[in-house]
Amino acid sequence: MKGGLDAVRDADAVVIGAGAAGLSVALGLDGRRVDLLAKGPLGRTGNSPWAQGGVAAAVGPGDSPESHAADTLAVAGELADPAAVGRMTAEGPRRLAQLLALGARFDRGAAGGLDLAREAAHSRARILHARDATGAEVVRTLGRALGARSGLAVFERAVALDLVVAGGRAVGVLARHGDGALVLHRARAVVLATGGLGRVFSRTTNPPEATGDGLALAWRAGARLADLEFVQFHPTALDVGADPMPLLTEALRGAGATLVTAEGRRVLADAFPEGELLPRDVVARALWSALASGRRPFLDARATVGDSFPERFPTAFAACREHGLDPRRDPIPVAPAAHYHMGGVDVDLDGRTSVPGLWAAGEVACSGVHGANRLASNSLLEALVFGARVAGSVAGALPCLHRPPGAPAPPPVDARADVDCAAAVAGIRRLMWEKAGLVRTGAGLREAHARLDTLSAGLPAGTEAAHLATVARLVVTAALARTESRGAHFRADHPRTDPAWRRRILLAPGAGAPRIETRSAGAPPALEAYA
Ligand SMILES: Cc1cc2nc3c(=O)[nH]c(=O)nc-3n(C[C@H](O)[C@H](O)[C@H](O)COP(=O)(O)OP(=O)(O)OC[C@H]3O[C@@H](n4cnc5c(N)ncnc54)[C@H](O)[C@@H]3O)c2cc1C
């Protein structure tokens, strides 16, 4: 036992997170000594295994990365970075070819070619899918490929508590392993691939691991964060009191399912003649209004999907059956839920953060590809493409990243880490849903800010609860600063888009309160030299 530690390990790189992003990073670092940490068992932790609809890539006849990029930019509320979008859409087909070569079983048509689906706001059929369990197929494929890799040590049920920073550089991770051991993972490169923050809200499709830890870890290490106010709310989560709320994929509305009231009247028909295929944020806010006025919405797939439901949408069907519903016979109760975070740790095209030695990939990173709103099925793609790019960047930087002399001191761990934080966490999640959710106001956000201080007082540092509280406060700070509505961020007191706000909001750790900066959409982040 060293300084309260149970063990110290040395690796070239430590990767925190084993979803599509973390697995892609580890796969690209073949031959290096990599410690891979995840909160749960490989293939069953984080958002990736839950992804249903698919992964977008310009692989079909007549499609092109340019067309995919144009669609991505069109929904992004003028805040996406065209260079990042261009990289993602250009490199996407190569990443998908790699997955197929590794044995991914995406659905195929009768002639044997890939069965590409078309989703809302994509101008072409370009969604590869494995029925409605695409994410599980992606992580299964990556996990199996990793099994054969040398130099990799996987730590399941290992929770990163804090990053170790020495001389302004990230040099390791302090983690609590499943057996209770406190382990310092020293490394020349640290990669955050910790996924999203859905659990910050009481109504979410995200599993328990998605507490935004990576954002809090990066923040505590001094990294800049970007676009935190942009949280995508999915309109159709199954509303039966489950947590997480099972997702009912958009493809159901694509297949003709409609949103109706208990009396069978269309929810969207009056105000929105375009109907069910409107952008997610518009549909989600319409359902929010319906609920606020006492009209419970249902998704009615009886006439259009009907008896083919179990075959076409097995995941959604199983979720309905688990809660005693039969979507072939009954309309399904639905409600919006926090689903995806467009914001994250500010990174360049190679996933480098503003802290030397620290990279980020996947949902925890803000690569600039989503702007104010994400195009459906682009997030798995982002995790695959930028995960591979981060691996290349880390491999290239390792020769210049020298191990700091001596053992860096790990951050102190709060001895009260077993304090029961459940009530505080539940309070924070409810507050965030009510005051910083789909419809925000300045007054509500200020109230949230004040109440967060009270709710989070005394949460032991380094715990998931403390991370969640930190992230909640940062999201509220960014949402208060953006006095307009854009993409997924809607302010009822500033309902219009303001051209003067065509800038990204960055939060940097400052003395006391976060320092708020802005940057124009296409400008790259200013990073320190890594050598
Ligand atoms: C229900 C649902 C459906 C979706 N459908 C689609 C879809 O069809 N198409 C699409 O493109 N996207 C979809 N998404 C979004 C997509 O799944 C995610 O954006 C993407 O999988 C994120 O991958 P990731 O690797 O960045 O993070 P994740 O897959 O979330 O992985 C995060 C990893 O970090 C680990 N971790 C977190 N904190 C710590 C810590 N402190 N210490 C150690 N490990 C930690 C977790 O255990 C996990 O292994 C969906 C999301 C949900 C929830």
As a three-state string, the secondary structure of 235-300 is EEEECCCCCCCCECCCHHHHCCCEEECCCCCECCCCCCCCHHHCCHHHHHHHHHHHHHCCCCCEEE
CA–centroid distance, 428 to ligand 1, in Å, is 22
Q: Mutate which of 23, 215, 379 to test ligand 1's pocket (most atoms within 8 Å of Cβ)? A: 379
Q: What is the atom index within ligand 1 of the atom nearest the CA of 139? A: 29
**Parallel/antiparallel/unpaired status of strands 169-176 and 159-166:** antiparallel
First to last CA, the chain: 32
pTM, 2 dp: 0.96
Count of H helices and E strands in the chain?
13, 18
Q: Tell me the mean pLDDT in the region 5-12.
A: 95
Q: Tell me: pLDDT of 357 over 80.
A: yes
Which residue's CA is minimally distant from atom 4 of ligand 1? 51
What integer is the mean pLDDT of 461-474?
A: 95
Of ligand 1's listed atoms, the one at least distance from the Cα of 42 is: 49
Any ligand 1 atom below 6 A from CB of 21? yes
Of 25, 157, 19, nearest to 95 by C-alpha is: 25
pLDDT at position 410, please?
78
18 CA from centroid of ligand 1 (Å): 9
For 519, half-sphere exposure in the C-beta direction (CA atoms, 13 angstrom radius) is 18
pLDDT at 1: 45
Question: If you average pLDDT over residues 40-51, what whole number do you get?
Answer: 95
> Would you place residue 12 in the very low, low, confident or very high pLDDT band (cuts 50, 70, 90)?
very high
In this structure, which residue's CA is closest to atom 3 in ligand 1? 51
Active site residue 280: yes
Give the contacts of 530 (CB within 8 A, at least 6 positions apart): 352, 356, 357, 397, 400, 401
Whole-number Å distance, alpha carbon 133 to ligand 1 midpoint, is 14
Residue to substitute in 44, 47, 347 for testing ligand 1 pocket (most ligand atoms within 8 angstroms of CB)? 47
Instruction: Please tell me if the CB atom of residue 48 comes closer than 6 angstroms to any atom of ligand 1.
Output: yes
Is the shortest distance between the CB of 165 and ligand 1 below 6 Å?
no
Would you give the DSSP letter of residue 403?
P
Dmax of the chain from CA atoms?
Answer: 71
Cα 406 to Cα 44, 175, 314, 403, distances in angstroms: 37, 19, 54, 9
Nearest-atom number in ligand 1 for the CA of 22 is: 25
